[in-house]
Amino acid sequence: MIINGRCRLILKPLLWIIYLSVIVLLARQIIHYTDKSLFDITNSQHESADVSGFLSGNQSVYKNKYQRWTIDEIERYEKWINEYEKGVVNELGNNGKPAKLYGRDEYKAQESLKKAAVNIIVSNKIPLNRKLPDIRDSLCKNVTYESSLPTASVIIIFYNEPWSLLMRTVRSVLDRTPDNYLKEIILVDDHSDAYELQSILDYYIFTRLLSDKVKLIRLSERVGLIRARLSGAKNATGDVLVFLDAHCEVIVQWLEPLLQRIKEKNNSVLMPIIDSISEETLEYIHDSDPSIFQIGGFTWSGHFTWIDIQAKDRESRKTQISPVKSPTMAGGLFAIDRNYFWEIGSYDDKMDGWGGENLEMSFRIWQCGGLLEIIPCSRVGHIFRNFHPYQFPNNKDTHGINTARLVHVWMDEYKRLFFLHREEFEQKSDKIIGDLSERIKLRQKLKCKNFKWYLDNVYPEKFIPDENVLAYGRVKLENKNLCLDNLQRDEDKSYNLGLYPCHSKLFPSQLFSLSNIGELRREHTCATINKQVVTDKQHVNVKMTECNNFDDEKEWILTENKHIIHVATGLCLDATGVGSQGDVFASPCSNSHEQNWDFDFLL
C-alpha cells in the first residue's frame, strides 16, 4: 500500500500519540511502596510487610496518584534519558580500563570529585553495562556449583547516589547473576531529594531494565543506612540476603560461591574479595596475583581496618581458593542466610545513621557461634570514597555513638581501650548512646562467648597494648615533662618518632608499649632503625613503620639504667637538644639524662 505525503503528515503524530498513550497505561503499573511502619522493626517480628505495592510478577496495581505519569512527564523523562544516553561513549572504561577526560570535561570532572568524592562526569560517559575482566584465580574457573543453590535477595541502599553509579550497580547484578539464583533486587531509597532519583528512576526501571526482579522501596523520611537496610531485609523473600553498596560492580560468577558456602554452613556470613574501583577514572583495580588479598581487622579506637591473613589461617587453608576466616567485615558487601540474619540479631536498630554496625555484627557473629569468612572465588568492585559527600541528620557523630553501643555490649573489660580514645562515651548515658537492655538480653539469650575468647581464638594477632608486654603507657624523658608522641602524624605512612609535653593522663598519641619480643610500638607501628644507614653516624632517625614482619631492625631492650637500646645497632634512644614537637633520634649510649626514659607501667 502506498501512503501519500498528506497521510504521512496525519499518521506520524497520531502514531506518536498512540505510543505515548500505551506508555502511560504501562507506567501506571509501576509501583512504589512507602510505609513508615518499616521503621518499627524488631528482631522478633520480621515477617514480610505488605508488599502489594511492589512491582511484582503479576503486575498488581498499587493506586497511588503520584505515580500516574502524564504524557508531559513521559516526554520529559524520555528527553532526560535520551540526553543521558547521548553522552555515553561506547567502549569507554571497557574491561575495567581507566577512563580519562580532557579539556572542559576534565575541569568538570575535578569539580565533581571535590563535591561528590567521585568522578560523576566520567561515570556518566561509561556504559552502564561495560565489560569487566574475569580476574578470578584460575582454580575458581574449574569449580562446579550445585544446581539447587539458595536464592538471593540483593539489597541496595542509596541516598542521593549519582544515578549512573546506582544503575551500573543494578545492571551488573542483573547481567552477571543467573536468573534462577536471583530472587530480587531491592532498592531502598533513604529519602533522596536528587531530581534524577525521583520519578525518572521509576520510569527508567520500568521502561529500560524490563525486569520484574527490581523492586523499589521509598522511605518517607531519612533513617540512615542501618534502618534502611532493615527495611530492605524485612521485605526480602530470597533464602539469602546479599547487601551491596550502591557504587559496586560485580564480576562473572560472583554470587554462586557465596550461595554454595551458605548452603554448606548456614551460620557463615560471607564477604567477596572487594576490589577497588578508582573514584577518579573508574578503573577496576586488582592485584595481578588473585591469591593476594586482605581480611578485616579493627583498631582500639573503633574503626575497621584491613590486615594480612593471620598465620593460623594461612596454615590451615587447603587451597588458595579455600574460605578465609576474617575477624571483622567492612560491612558494605556481605551475604547471610535470611533466617540466620534474624536469629543472630540482625542489626542493632537503636544505632543511628551509619558507622559501627559492621564491627557490632562482626563481634556478635563470632561470639555467638557464627563464622565470618572471605570467599576468594567471589569478587566485587567497590568505589572507596575519600569523604562522605553528604551530611548526616543533626550532624551527630553517629559512628562514635554507635561504636560506644557495641563496646558496652560486646567488648567486656577491653572497652577500656576504646574509652582511652573516646572517653566521652564511657558513661552508659541513655541520653547519648540510648538504651542497651535489648542488646544485652540478646547476648544472654544466644549464650555468647566473651571478648577475651574472641581475641584468643579469632584474632590472636591483635596487639593489646597493656597485656603480654614488658612495659606500657607514657614514655617520659627523665627530669623533663616531655614524652614520646606520634604528633598526630598519619600512621598509615612511616613517620619520625617525636616528643611532646606529657599529658596529665594517658592520651592515645602517647600510648607506647615494649612488647614481649622487644618492639617499641604503638597499635600498628613500631620504632625502626635502618641498619644500612647507620655505619659510623652519630645521629640516626627513628622511624615508626608497620609492625608486620618482625626483625632485628625493630628490636629494642629497656635496661636497668633506663636506656632504650636498639639491639641491632647498639644505639640508644636520645632526645639531646630536642624540644616539644621535635624528633628523637638514636646515638651512641652515654650517661646523659637525655637518654633516660621512664614508662608509666613496668610489668
Cα Rg of the chain (Å, integer): 28
Q: Which residues contact 425 (CB under 8 A, 6 or more apart)?
A: 400, 401, 403, 404, 407, 418, 419, 432, 433
Residue count of the chain, please give it.
603
What does the alpha-carbon distance between residue 244 and residue 460 come to, in Å, rounded to a whole number? 29
The H-assigned helical ranges of 205-317 are: 225-234, 256-264, 311-316
Q: Any idea which of 85-99, 106-120, 189-203, 550-564 has the lowest mean pLDDT?
A: 106-120
Judged on CB neighbours under 10 Å (0-12, 13-18, 19+), 301 is middle
- Mean pLDDT over each residue of the chain, to the nearest integer: 88
CA dist 351 and 133 (Å) reads 38
Q: What's the pLDDT tens digit per position in 446-477?
A: 999 999 999 999 999 999 999 999 999 999 99
Cα(515)–Cα(467) distance, rounded to whole angstroms? Answer: 9
Q: Where does the pLDDT of residue 504 fall: very low under 50, low under 70, confident under 90, or very high at 90 and above?
A: very high
Q: Is the pLDDT of residue 58 over 90?
A: no
Contacts of 598 (CB under 8 A, 6+ apart): 475, 476, 478, 562
Contact 270, 262 (CB under 8 A): yes
Between 25-34, 92-101, 206-215, 416-425, the lowest mean confidence (pLDDT) is in: 25-34
Q: What is the pLDDT of residues 530-551, one digit of tens each?
A: 877 776 667 899 999 999 888 8
Domain residue extents for the chain: 469-602
Task: pLDDT band for 39, please (50, 70, 90 cuts).
Answer: very low
Confidence of residue 155 (pLDDT cuts 50, 70, 90): very high
Contact 332, 244 (CB under 8 A): yes
Question: Distance from first CA to last CA of the chain, Å, rounded?
Answer: 101
Distance (Å) of CA 225 to CA 171, 189, 200, 331, 349: 22, 10, 23, 11, 11
> What pLDDT was estimated at residue 102?
86
Give 47 or 510, the one with higher predicted confidence: 510
As a whole number, mean pLDDT of residues 168-195 equals 97
- Lowest pLDDT segment from 256-270, 278-292, 443-457: 278-292
For 358-416, write each residue's pLDDT tens digit. Answer: 999 999 999 999 999 999 999 999 999 888 777 766 778 899 999 999 999 999 999 99
In this structure, what C-alpha cell is assigned to residue 298?
579493627
Residue 106 or 227, more confident: 227
Q: Please, what CATH class does the domain formed by 469-602 belong to?
A: mainly beta
Q: Report pLDDT digits (tens) over 563-580.
A: 999 999 999 999 999 999
Mean pLDDT of 204-224: 93
DSSP state, residue 441: H
- The DSSP letter of residue 33 is B
Nearest alpha carbon to residue 526 among 483, 475, 474, 491? 491
pTM (predicted TM-score): 0.87
For the segment 264-269, the average pLDDT, to the nearest whole number, is 98
